[in-house]
């Protein structure tokens, strides 16, 4: 098995194909972290623990006069709280006597084939192609009678380890869980850079990299969603690590709500990283016998740089996370009505857009916001999921039938989690939204958030949305969320349980998605949250693709998609060609470039096809034809970032390479043009050095080594924002 316990050494050994993870039970029963990194064969790494008197670092009572044993300096798997360790803690408990303390010691373990289960939470699953083993370790605080169960699953071939945690209250008292981190990892050194994905609405997942400094560095979200501002993903890597070199440790949180990730460099130049549900306004009541389960974190280690780390996440998320059977199929190329018509449309206008798109080779028409209730702007009708027959006299079925008669598939937009104050639903059930009593609610986009912690609210959403989806032939659904959570108070929860609402909202959302999405495997669901405000593994578990950003400017998308690619597969990134000048930036980018950028994801269109010239339609038709032929490469191949748009300004380049390395698609956008500029060369990656390749547009054949070492000349004729693609195939 990939998990072993060595009794004589009191060590646990977790082995993937290329990595080793090792832990040790100390003399006093504490679980210490020894190592995570390159695979070691039957090595005992206990020698790495070097004890010495650290002065003002206190010692647990059971150590007696041994002043060298202090939890304040020892590397731990799950750090205690309130006893000897002043660093970031894995847990915070308010015990029945009012004290804040948890000191967990090893009591038992279990090893078994397969994977642990996390009830009500998304997580990686084991496929027939995987070898996976689980380790569970019980840590008990005998005074408070609380148990923490640490769960590890080793995906041997994928080089992935998942971690989760559960707290069980075995005492007679009611306790309050104020923090439970899904992962804690200690490093005996700290010469690392901290990489994370920052941003804002319309500029999500921008790469941020900084060296660890003394103290605590923090990212997270307290917005009720994973957010535009920070993504639940982080990397610790060597200071000199790059795409192809260096140690890189990845941490990806499979959760869609509030989260936190903190990294601390301590007084002795050690580092600790924690990741889990954000503790702000989090207080979970556990009565005697009750338990709480934290979401999982997906760990990956690469000794070969950031590209290899990305490949591991891409493979695991494509194959072990996305649940939809459509995730493995080619996605239909769609045109969306939003930027073409916004709220101002009728059936005639929609049919004209669809008809004009047919000649482009588009395969699906998607009706965005504005089709229901009194929805003529964004300040009314959310929650009233009844078709507006003034706009659509034949309802969704009538429109769907006409769209299908054109040879197109049909999709719609929904926003099930929200309610407008100007709606029949709110007038009938004002208590169904999150709203603090005696306070005026704050608003976002003129809407409030429904209380998904309530079963009756969830039932209404499932019933009303199901009725819509069953009323017509609908093959695609864009599931949106256009404001974050405030006023997190539920009208039916006891006051002692109001600190549970943020998490119970997410559990409620997952329950709704289980009932709506997973019961309709034939429907392709696309996630959205003001664009990319909830682009996380929890959403990908239910929806195999997510609208990457509301910013459709092709040049801005180069950075957005660059950052997204560090952890998320290209097959999950929905990316559209839109009108120019761009409606967000006013920038003009050639149609070809917009297509090349959008091909770095799931290609689609977000424009009014009735206003396009014949030449533009022909360009799109050629784009779609190319995309279809390249799709296996783009969706299933290995991805290489050839340039860093934050440090290299001349061009942005990327490459998709087939798993057998016999073909590749290299794409490039010129981002900075100077007069009489120097000749540039773009170097391929991922090819077989001694294999011969042909490159479209170049005469002759070339060795893989030559294309990777000398490169391909960037055409000097390219103007700023123009693009070029090279299809490379073995001969």
Say how far apart CA 382 and CA 178 lie, in whole Å. 34
- 672 and 624 part of one domain: no
* Residue 214, pLDDT above cutoff 90: yes
668-703 pLDDT tens trace:
999 999 999 999 999 999 999 999 999 999 999 999
In a domain, 481, yes or no: yes
* Residue 64, pLDDT above cutoff 90: no
In a domain, 25, yes or no: no
- 625 and 663 part of one domain: no
Q: CA angle, corner 190, sides to 184 and 193, nearest 5?
A: 90
In a domain, 348, yes or no: yes
In a domain, 690, yes or no: yes
Residue 65: pLDDT band (50, 70, 90) is confident
623-655 pLDDT tens trace:
999 999 999 999 999 999 999 999 999 999 999
Domain boundary among 607, 636, 665: 636
Tell me which residue of 510, 566, 576, 565 sits closest to 543, measured CA to CA. 510
Domain boundary among 266, 294, 321: 321
Q: What CATH number has the domain bearing residue 556?
A: 3.20.20.70
In a domain, 48, yes or no: no
Total count of domains within the chain:
3
- 598 and 675 part of one domain: no
In a domain, 27, yes or no: no
- 288 and 403 part of one domain: no
- 577 and 671 part of one domain: no
In a domain, 96, yes or no: yes
Residue 82: pLDDT band (50, 70, 90) is confident
- 363 and 302 part of one domain: no
* Residue 50, pLDDT above cutoff 90: yes
Q: What CATH number has the domain bearing residue 138?
A: 2.70.98.60
- Annotated active-site positions, please? 536, 616
Q: What CATH number has the domain bearing residue 704?
A: 2.60.40.1180
CB-based contacts of 58, cutoff 8 Å, min separation 6: 70, 72, 84
DSSP string, 79-105: --BSSS--S--SEEEE-TTS-B-B--E
498-503: average pLDDT:
98
Domain boundary among 321, 338, 365: 321
480-489 pLDDT tens trace:
999 999 999 9
- 662 and 692 part of one domain: yes
Looking at the DSSP bridge assignments, the partners of residue 505 are: none
Tell me which residue of 116, 125, 206 sits closest to 542, measured CA to CA. 125
- 620 and 661 part of one domain: no
325: left (phi over 0), alpha (psi -120 to 50) or beta: alpha
* Residue 445, pLDDT above cutoff 90: no
> What does the pLDDT read at residue 365?
98
Task: Using the Cα atoms of residue 423, residue 428, residue 430 and residue 432 in order, give the sign of their dihedral.
Answer: negative
DSSP string, 112-126: EES----TTS-----
Give me the domain span that covers residue 561: 325-636
- 344 and 275 part of one domain: no
- 287 and 352 part of one domain: no
- 571 and 705 part of one domain: no
Contact indicator for 432, 448 with CB cutoff of 8 Å: no
- 291 and 393 part of one domain: no
- Cβ burial, residue 649 (10 Å; 0-12/13-18/19+): exposed
Say how far apart CA 488 and CA 506 lie, in whole Å. 12
Say how far apart CA 60 and CA 51 lie, in whole Å. 14
Tell me which residue of 176, 141, 136, 128 sits closest to 153, measured CA to CA. 136
Residues 189-218 as b/e (b if ≥16 CB within 10 A, e otherwise) read ebebbbbbbbbebbbbbbbbeeebeeeebe
* Count helices and strands in the chain by DSSP H and E runs: 12, 38
Tell me which residue of 700, 701, 699 sits closest to 691, measured CA to CA. 701
* Residue 262, pLDDT above cutoff 90: yes
Contact indicator for 574, 601 with CB cutoff of 8 Å: yes
In a domain, 341, yes or no: yes
230-250 pLDDT tens trace:
999 999 999 999 999 999 999
CB-based contacts of 65, cutoff 8 Å, min separation 6: none
């Amino acid at each position: 098995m990939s998990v072993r316990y060595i009794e004589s050494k009191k060590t646990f050994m977790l082995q993937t194909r290329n990595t080793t993870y090792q832990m040790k039970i100390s003399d006093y029963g504490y679980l210490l972290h020894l190592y995570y990194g390159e695979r070691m064969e039957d090595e005992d790494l206990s020698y790495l623990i070097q004890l010495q008197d650290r002065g003002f670092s206190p010692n647990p009572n059971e150590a007696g006069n041994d002043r060298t044993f202090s939890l304040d300096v020892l590397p731990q798997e799950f750090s205690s709280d309130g006893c000897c360790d002043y660093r970031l803690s894995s847990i915070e408990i308010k015990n029945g006597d009012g004290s804040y303390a948890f000191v967990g010691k090893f009591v038992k373990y279990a090893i078994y084939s397969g994977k642990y289960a996390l009830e009500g939470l998304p997580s990686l699953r084991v496929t027939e192609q995987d070898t996976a083993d689980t380790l569970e370790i019980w840590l008990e605080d005998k005074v408070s009678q609380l148990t923490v169960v640490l769960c590890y699953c080793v995906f041997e071939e994928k080089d992935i380890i998942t971690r989760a945690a559960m707290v069980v209250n075995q005492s007679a008292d009611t306790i309050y869980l104020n923090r439970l981190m899904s992962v804690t990892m200690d490093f005996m050194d700290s010469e690392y850079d901290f990489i994370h994905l920052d941003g804002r609405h319309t500029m999500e997942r921008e790469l941020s990299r900084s060296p660890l400094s003394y103290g605590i560095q923090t990212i997270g979200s307290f917005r009720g969603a994973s957010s535009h501002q920070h993504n639940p993903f982080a990397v610790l890597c060597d200071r000199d690590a790059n795409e192809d070199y260096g140690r890189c440790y990845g941490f990806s949180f499979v959760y869609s709500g509030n989260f936190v990730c903190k990294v601390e460099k301590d007084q002795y130049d050690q580092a600790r990283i924690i990741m889990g549900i954000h503790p702000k306004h989090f207080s979970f009541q556990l009565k005697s016998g009750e338990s709480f389960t934290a979401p999982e974190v997906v760990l990956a280690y690469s000794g070969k740089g950031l590209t290899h780390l990305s490949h591991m996440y891409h493979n695991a998320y494509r194959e072990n996370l996305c649940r939809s059977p459509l995730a493995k199929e080619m996605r239909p190329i769609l045109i969306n009505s939003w930027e073409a018509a916004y709220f101002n449309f009728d059936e005639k206008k929609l049919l004209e857009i669809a008809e004009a798109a047919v000649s482009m080779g588009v395969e699906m028409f998607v009706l965005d916001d504005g089709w229901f209730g009194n929805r003529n702007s964004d300040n009314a009708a959310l929650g009233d999921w009844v078709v507006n027959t003034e706009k659509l006299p034949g309802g969704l079925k009538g429109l769907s039938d006409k769209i299908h008669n054109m040879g197109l598939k049909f999709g719609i937009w929904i926003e099930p989690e929200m309610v407008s104050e100007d709606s029949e639903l709110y007038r009938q059930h004002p208590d169904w939204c999150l709203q603090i009593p005696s306070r005026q609610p704050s608003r976002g986009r003129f809407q409030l958030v429904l209380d998904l912690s309530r079963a009756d609210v969830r039932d209404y959403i499932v019933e009303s949305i199901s009725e819509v989806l069953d009323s017509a032939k609908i093959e695609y659904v864009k599931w949106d969320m256009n404001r974050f959570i405030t006023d997190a108070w539920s009208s039916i929860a006891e006051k002692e349980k109001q600190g549970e609402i943020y998490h119970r909202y997410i559990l409620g959302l997952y329950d709704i998605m289980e009932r709506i999405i997973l019961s309709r495997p034939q429907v392709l669901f696309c996630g959205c949250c003001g664009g990319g405000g909830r682009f996380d593994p929890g959403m990908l578990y239910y929806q195999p693709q997510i609208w990457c950003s509301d910013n459709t400017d092709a040049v801005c998308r180069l950075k957005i998609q660059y950052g997204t690619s560090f952890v998320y597969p290209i097959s999950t990134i929905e990316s559209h060609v839109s009108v120019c000048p761009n409606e967000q930036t006013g920038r003009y980018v050639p149609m070809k470039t917009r297509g090349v950028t959008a091909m770095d994801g799931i290609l689609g269109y977000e424009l009014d096809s009735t206003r396009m010239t014949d030449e533009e339609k022909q360009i799109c038709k050629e784009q779609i034809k190319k995309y279809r032929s390249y799709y296996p490469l783009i969706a299933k191949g290995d991805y290489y970032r050839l340039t860093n748009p934050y440090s290299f300004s001349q061009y942005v380049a990327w490459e998709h390479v087939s798993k057998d390395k016999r073909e590749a698609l290299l794409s490039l956008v010129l981002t900075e043009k100077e007069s009489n500029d120097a000749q540039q060369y773009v170097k391929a990656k991922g090819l077989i050095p001694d294999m011969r390749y042909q490159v479209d547009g170049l005469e002759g054949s070339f060795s893989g080594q030559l294309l990777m070492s000398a490169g391909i000349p960037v055409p000097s004729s390219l103007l700023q924002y123009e693009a070029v693609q090279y299809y490379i195939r073995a001969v």
